A and B are shown apart, each in its own frame.
Chain A
């Protein structure tokens, strides 16, 4: 098929130009679908990242200590925590460490924390447990240990969030698959129109001994061009949209909330690859579907 690439590309552009309105409509329709698909993809990727982060961050019981607990008393607290049972390991986080971590999360806005006169964050223990049931028990019993002011444990929330994100992910995949199928149908119909316009030519070609691939390839190239064009436009629009989005609600608020966001360049690079692959795939499938019946005549 690619031995006559020049011929096929010339033919394809000529056809696109001859059916300007229909080609434009197809590009528009696919672009619209890719945009919706892109939005779902952005949501999917970010939700996925969010889910991973909260899993890592909150899969522990955090035990906060009163500032009055002196350093030499720490082994006693550790012992008390270990005695509850089910503890896999303990990680001490001093209030200075906690502030440092917070600063890092706030990123560029970390300087805001520099002006604090006193560190409001408490010393704490991160308790990693072997079993979820141990965590439940530990989060209750640890409160009774002298010097412990508070215990936070988000496992239930994490579980709920995981379920929601999982649901969003499955939903995104279903919607994306549906959009791809619709796109194939749109391209197939566009190409069918150009095939129909050229049915006489196709008939003559076949009498002259043209192979199926010779007849088919300009239409496939046409489909690919339409798909790639839509992919390029969609990626461009998604770039504008996503960078605007991260600009507006963007990294400041999200960082303060300790929720990370997938960087624009990384996202668009991947989106472009996905859109291109999809566009080319949709174009190829669409044209093969639409010309098959004409070739069998």
Chain B
């Protein structure tokens, strides 16, 4: 679904990503972990085509997106759902309108919008609050709205940037259960996080980045030792994947 092949990106003298290769399959649930400034954000920005790589190739859903023209970017982003740490809901729109907005952008019919929005609001468990405004909701509820908006157009990939960062542990786990449920429906999920407890509990594939390099890529635990470093730091050979 997402394929990075020897991708490098520098920002002046700062390394964003260095020769990174990652292959995320359709239906995967992958955690992207690493210290601040390691290159996680660069990784996501490359997928969203906010920036172009200096070297390497990026493929999404079978399409080479290494270099896209400005006109092609909206179509790409329609295949990707984004969930943010700060939810990024529109304060002046109700829950329903916030989610419907994502469909309006793609010229969906009014009738389809109503049906689909109610379906996803029900899925994320917030249908009864559809007429509330974001500031009338708890943080967990707001994130549910954010997730509903991200999946309402049935994206192939859901990218979650620290989705539990602003939530208490219990609410965070509820959100993780919801994401797991969405993943089971077949949506590929790439989640950036610092939350060790969540990663350990979920027991999914973990891709660790440090100084722009992929230092670990395997199923299981978060992998930080007590000093905060990744425990082995070995490079992962992903070139053996059959592309």
Tell me the A residues contacting B by CB distance below 8 Å.
Answer: 3-4, 7, 200-201, 203-212, 214
Contact = CB atoms under 8 A, between A and B. Distances in A.
A145 B149 CA distance: 99
A7 B100 CA distance: 13
B88 A204 contact: yes
A5 to B, nearest CB: 12
Q: For chain A, what secondary structure do more than half of its interface residues adopt (helix, strand, loop), or is it mixed?
A: helix
A205 B93 CA distance: 14
A199 to B, nearest CB: 12
Contacts, number: 39
Among B74, B75, B78, B104, max chain A CB count under 10 A is at B74
Contact of B70 (A205, A207, A212): A212
Contacts of B106: 209
Contacts of B17: none
B70 A4 contact: no
Nearest to B155: A209
B82 interface: yes
Contacts of B76: 209
Contact of B75 (A204, A207, A209, A212): A209
B105 A209 contact: yes
Given A208-B105, A209-B106, A201 B77 contact: no
Interface string B92-105: 00000000011011
A207 B82 contact: yes
Contact of A209 (B71, B78, B88, B90): B78
Nearest to B78: A209
Interface string B206-221: 0000000000000000
| Shortest 6 CB-CB contacts between residues of A and residues of B | A209-B77, A209-B78, A210-B105, A211-B74, A209-B74, A208-B102
A233 B24 CA distance: 60
Contacts of A203: 88
B48 interface: yes
